[in-house]
Homo-oligomer: A and B are copies of this chain.
Amino acid sequence: MANYIKLRARLMRDDDIAFGPGKAQLLDAIESTGSISAAARELGMSYRRAWLLVDTMNRCFREPLVHSAPGGKHGGGAEVTEAGRRIRQRYREMEQALRDLADDFEKSLENELN
């Protein structure tokens, strides 16, 4: 039996999601593959979706988190900027702190379950 607390923390800017778990994961994939399309393939999502996530991130923050360019060798590509890495790290730190806290509560709720 897999009993656990599923957490989700999203940084909202008005009505759109500036940052969240999916976007953090996407930054990882872009960093390791060097392109949005390869990252999308790696994560099993459509290029459309990946591009929309990147676009939303870049629009929400002061500095872009991903720098991308068409053309060039093997067709340009994309890279995670300094700001991107910084924001991702802050987010991950928050995620970890939330996780630790949730785990403290987990047992007291879990032992009420079947």
Contact = CB atoms under 8 A, between A and B. Distances in A.
Contacts of A113: 11, 13, 18, 60-62
A102 interface: yes
Contact of A4 (B12, B86, B102): B12
Interface stretch (A31-39, A44-52, A93-101): A93-101
With a 10 A CB-CB cut-off, give which of A1, A11, A63, A87 has the most chain B CB atoms. A11
Interface of A: 1-14, 18-19, 59-63, 83, 86-87, 90-91, 93-94, 97-98, 101-102, 105, 108-110, 112-114
Q: Which 6 A-B pairs have the closest CB atoms?
A: A94-B105, A8-B8, A6-B10, A6-B12, A13-B113, A3-B13
